[in-house]
Structure 1
Amino acid sequence: MQKRAEVTRAALLQAAAVVFARVGYAHARLNTITTSAHVSKGALYDHFNSKEELARAVIDAGSARFTIACNPFRTSHIPAFEALIGISCTLLDPVVNDATVRAAFRLITEVPDRPDTGTPLLTTWLSDYQQLARRAIAEGDLHHDDPDAIALLLVETLSGARLLAAATGHLDELPVRLTTTWHLLLPSLVDPTSIDYFRQLLTRQIARVGHRGTTPPPAPGAPPQSITGEIVPAKPPRRDARRAAGISSTHSPRSTSTSRTLQPKPVR
């Protein structure tokens, strides 16, 4: 009996996510959701007392999925500023952004606010960025003395870019918008000698998640390009600049394995 109840709940959440993502909270009909889930209206009310409760359950499920997708970037083996970029690129990953995540992003702006409820997707994202910003300052990559302000700026800007792209029906433009956002922000966040390095990293991250969807991989040996067609720098000058200045690095993983993976193959 418990297994059957779990299957029913999962079917309702999946069906609700598809409907909420397609038509939004106000226009979603419970009859449509139950029909799609192949369950009765009574079965729905066995699990959820109202459409709002169902929507909040979808938000929670989408938030959990997004959080799990971001887990690899929370490891201390990845330099914090690179993790900030990596998490933002998760917004583009077609494997992550299924109906549940898409619905969660839409519903956080449409479900009525209540004093006793939070928005787990954005609050968790902000908390992660606050911790990463503090570490990025300690590692010498982020040049700012207020990590909480930077974390809030990044979450507001990146989530806003995604929400606006979705609201205007231009999610396909999100890679370009994300690239533009980071290109504008980087000069005020990092040392000038690091800008090309992080732009190259951003290009590689976007290409990586794009290849998990329908974008074909680049030809073997071709120089990496940004989504705007710009060829990225051959190698990041920041690494040599730091060593020449005698600045120690607290994150050796990037100065070894990660930096090597960022070197493009020579054109044959």
Structure 2
Amino acid sequence: MATQKRAEVTRRALLHAAAEVFTHRGYAETKLSEVLTQARVTKGALYFHYASKEELARAVIEEGTRRFTAVCTPYLASPTPASEAMIGISFVTVDAALNDPVMGATFRLITEMGDYRSSETDTFATWITTYQLLARRAIDEGDLREDADPDAVGRLLVELFAGARLLATATDTPTTLPTRTAMAWDLLLPVLVTTPKIDYFRQFVTRRLPTVRLP
């Protein structure tokens, strides 16, 4: 039991260290020696858990996707109006990506590795499906315009916010993501939301900004 516990502690240390390095260096520039130094473990311990850098990246992506799903679940399972949930998730994921190295690394890795897919998860598919489900609910609730295509809306939101994250990474300005997210919603709301409720949702977006913790 003690051996299993030590192995799990080592695995988590490697995962967290890899996430830190992947976030700052990207997949191509990350060296396993730097991960070892950050995690303070031996090369043997690394290869006991992960056979390669790619396998380590896969583990980070899978854990990051699990965490992403966890932060989205309360919005999907609660009576929160779907339009508020869509806005809330966009800020929660920004918050998590800024303050949780594993989620931050996940978003960077799935962008940089192109057509890479882990063995069990597809973060973009999860993200798109979540927004599409919420868009359908928002239409039924009368907040989203009834002529809106929920599948197209869900995909557009992911493309927009993933693009903003990519630009923030490329320009080393991740702490601007909360403001960029608010600006995006300000432009989107008149297009997506029924006219009488635009001001309400703009205020809702504004109220979300102070809750985002910056490092």
Give the structure-1-normalised TM-score. Answer: 0.73
Distance in 2, matches of 1:174 and 1:22, equals 16
Cα distance change of structure 1 residues 118 and 185 upon mapping to structure 2, 3 Å threshold:
farther
| Counterpart in the other structure of 2:66 | 64
Q: Paired residue for 1:126?
A: 128
Tell me how far apart the structure 1 counterparts of residues 142 and 190 of structure 2 sit (CA, whole Å). Answer: 15
Gaps of 5+ in 2: none
Matches within 5 A, 1:108-147: 108-111=110-113, 113-114=115-116, 117=119, 120-143=122-145, 144-147=147-150
| Structure-2 residue corresponding to 1:195 | 198
Deviation at 1:82, TM superposition (A): 0.7
SS in 2 for 1:169: coil
1:166 aligns with 2:169: yes
Alpha-carbon distance in 1 for matches of 2:88, 2:117: 32
More helix by share: 2
Aligned residues: 212
Counterpart residue identity of residue 49, structure 2: H
* Distance 1:34-1:115 versus aligned 2 partners, 3 A rule: closer
Does 117-126 or 174-183 show the bigger shift?
Answer: 117-126
Q: Residues 50-89 of structure 1: matches in 2 within 5 Å?
A: 50-89=52-91
> Is the radius of gyration larger for structure 1 or structure 2?
1
**SS of equivalent residue, structure 1 residue 156:** helix
Q: Which amino acid aligns with 1:158?
A: F
The 3-state SS of whatever aligns with 1:7 is: helix
- Aligned-partner Cα distance in 2 for 1:179–1:115: 30
Alpha-carbon distance change, 84 to 104 in structure 1, aligned in 2, over 3 angstroms = same
The CA deviation at 1:5 is: 1.3
- Correspondence for 1:22: 24
Alignment match, 1:205: 208
Q: Which has the higher contact order (CA 8 A, sep 6+)?
A: 2
Q: What one-letter code is carried by the residue in structure 1 that aligns with 2:204?
A: L
Contact 1:165 1:171 (8 Å CA) reproduced: yes
**Which secondary structure state, in structure 1, belongs to the residue aligned with residue 99 of structure 2?**
coil
2: distance between equivalents of 1:180 and 1:91?
Answer: 16
| Deviation for aligned residue 1:67 | 1.9
Report the aligned-residue RMSD. 2.0
Distance change in 2, residues 1:197/1:116 (3 Å): closer
